């Protein structure tokens, strides 16, 4: 039987000590110049000691103008000695205890918050369809900008390798830039980067090729790919299967399967927009039946992809994780939110000290419901959506500051605390860059 405790040998020859990976979660712990900090080192040392075989960072951006949030780490152009030293310390702490630390590399595209940039970029000029004007109207990227972004992924990967990270992951999911190029409802270009699936996948395939060339054959390279966008007219599951098949030519070591965008956040196991107060947040029936959000989609990709397969989202029991591994549905299990409330959860699962992870998603809310609420009031749904996200983000911040998670934090405190943190980070960002 294949279990969580088994090692995993990747196509490049690298061996990971067990089958648990910490899934990527945004940290927001850079300094005002978007450099790595001692807070990141402290947080990842705690996770490395927690027992997971591999840790994925939150998205490290390739362009300081297009961030997922103001506190992202950025790698672009020539790096200062201070930045290189900070990255090296981050990797040193995150690779303790024979742990792999892989840098997730990203470009936020049109999902750059308006507090960071009022004019983001994307494959086309179509804005994110969400209320509240959280994102500006994007400009369609030029050929030169596309080429620069592809080079940016490769440069960040090379820097990651040089500063001690043990692998990289290209973020091509969740509605960020590469995901936008893949999606026909967002990418309406008529040149060689749009139209057919082959053209829409070109950005991803060329970024993967450039990254592999930059780091060599024996360094792990992964991609995070949507199993589908779950939006009408968006990137379909059938298209995801085809793209996974094409990725074999780029000699990937691992493919992580996820799904959804900000407009349709299935990566959180939700139906409708988690941040959209006009939509409900009921947990999907398939999620309840299968435990992990994307296993039912992963099996089709498993049939065509040659490298290791990782599924993140929804896993909560040791039995469910082992069953997925034994069935061959995936080769690695990604855990994200459970590591916000208990950084030692991997050790506990592996040792048998616990059989399931804590589920604070069930309690961080106003009103009834499993993950959200059944309230007809939009305000309550909005508070729950933002509050839940803020709750987990604030726990990461606390651990980075050397504190313990505050497991008694209420949803209202989470909303206000997270908003205050983001406001301060955005102010520092704008002051540093003079925007």
Domain assignment present for residue 373? The answer is no
Domain assignment present for residue 177? The answer is yes
Domain assignment present for residue 380? The answer is no
Domain assignment present for residue 396? The answer is no
pTM as predicted: 0.91
Helix boundaries (H) for 65-219? 81-94, 143-162, 177-182, 197-200, 202-215
Domain assignment present for residue 36? The answer is yes
| Residue of 301, 293, 285 whose CA lies nearest to 248 | 301
Q: How far, in Å, CA of 415 to CA of 386, rounded?
A: 6
Query: What pLDDT shows up at residue 321?
Result: 92
Query: What pLDDT shows up at residue 165?
Result: 98
Buried b (16+ CB within 10 A) or exposed e, 10-41: bebebebbbbbbbbbbbbbbbbeebbbbbbbb
The sign one gets for the Cα dihedral 115, 117, 122, 127 is positive
| Residue of 299, 292, 219 whose CA lies nearest to 254 | 219
| Residue of 40, 29, 24 whose CA lies nearest to 105 | 24
Q: How far, in Å, CA of 21 to CA of 204, rounded?
A: 23
| Ranges in the chain, pLDDT < 70 | 228-233, 259-294, 360-362, 367-377
Query: What pLDDT shows up at residue 267?
Result: 42
Residue 304 in contact with residue 7, Cβ under 8 Å?
no
Domain assignment present for residue 19? The answer is yes
Q: Which residue has 């981050």 as its token pair?
A: 90
Domain assignment present for residue 338? The answer is yes
Query: What pLDDT shows up at residue 383?
Result: 81
Split into its structural domains, the chain has a count of: 1
Domain assignment present for residue 402? The answer is no
Query: What pLDDT shows up at residue 229?
Result: 55
Domain extent for 88: 8-361
The CATH number of whichever domain residue 174 belongs to comes to 3.20.20.70
């Amino acid at each position: 039987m294949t279990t969580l405790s088994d090692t995993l040998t990747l196509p490049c020859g690298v061996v990971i000590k067990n089958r648990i990976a910490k899934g990527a979660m945004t940290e927001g712990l850079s300094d005002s110049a978007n450099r790595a900090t001692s807070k990141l080192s402290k947080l990842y040392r705690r996770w490395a000691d927690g027992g997971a075989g591999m840790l994925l960072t939150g998205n490290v951006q390739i362009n300081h103008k297009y961030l997922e949030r103001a506190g992202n780490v950025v790698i672009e152009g020539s790096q200062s000695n201070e930045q290189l030293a900070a990255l090296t310390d981050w990797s040193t702490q995150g690779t303790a205890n024979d742990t792999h630390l892989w840098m997730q590399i990203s470009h936020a595209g049109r999902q750059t918050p308006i507090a960071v940039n009022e004019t983001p970029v994307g494959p086309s000029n179509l804005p994110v369809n969400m209320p509240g004007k959280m994102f500006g109207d994007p400009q369609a990227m030029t050929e030169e900008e596309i080429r620069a972004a592809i080079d940016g992924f490769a440069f960040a990967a090379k820097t990651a390798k040089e500063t001690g990270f043990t692998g990289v992951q290209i973020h091509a999911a969740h509605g960020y830039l590469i995901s936008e190029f893949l999606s026909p409802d967002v990418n309406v270009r008529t040149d060689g980067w749009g139209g057919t699936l082959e053209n829409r996948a070109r950005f991803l395939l060329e970024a993967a090729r450039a990254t592999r060339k930059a780091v060599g054959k024996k360094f792990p390279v992964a991609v995070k790919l949507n199993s589908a966008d779950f939006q009408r007219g968006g990137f379909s599951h059938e298209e995801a299967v085809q793209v996974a098949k094409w990725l074999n030519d780029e000699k990937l070591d691992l493919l992580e399967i996820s799904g959804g965008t900000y407009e349709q956040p299935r990566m959180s196991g939700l139906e409708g927009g988690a941040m959209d107060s006009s939509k409900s947040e009921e947990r999907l029936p398939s999620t309840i039946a299968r435990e992990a959000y994307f296993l039912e989609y992963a099996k089709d990709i498993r049939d065509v992809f040659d490298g290791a397969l990782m599924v993140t989202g929804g896993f909560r029991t040791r039995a469910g994780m082992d069953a997925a591994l034994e069935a061959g549905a995936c080769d690695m299990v990604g855990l994200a939110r459970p590591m916000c409330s208990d950084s030692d959860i991997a050790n506990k699962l592996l040792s048998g000290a616990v059989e399931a992870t804590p589920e604070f998603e069930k309690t961080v809310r106003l009103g009834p419901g499993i993950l959200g609420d059944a309230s007809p009031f939009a305000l309550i749904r909005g508070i729950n959506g933002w509050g839940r996200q803020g709750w987990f983000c604030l726990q990461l911040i606390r651990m980075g500051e050397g504190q313990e998670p505050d497991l008694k934090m209420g949803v209202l405190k989470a909303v206000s605390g997270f908003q205050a943190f983001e406001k301060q980070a955005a102010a520092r960002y704008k002051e540093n860059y003079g925007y």
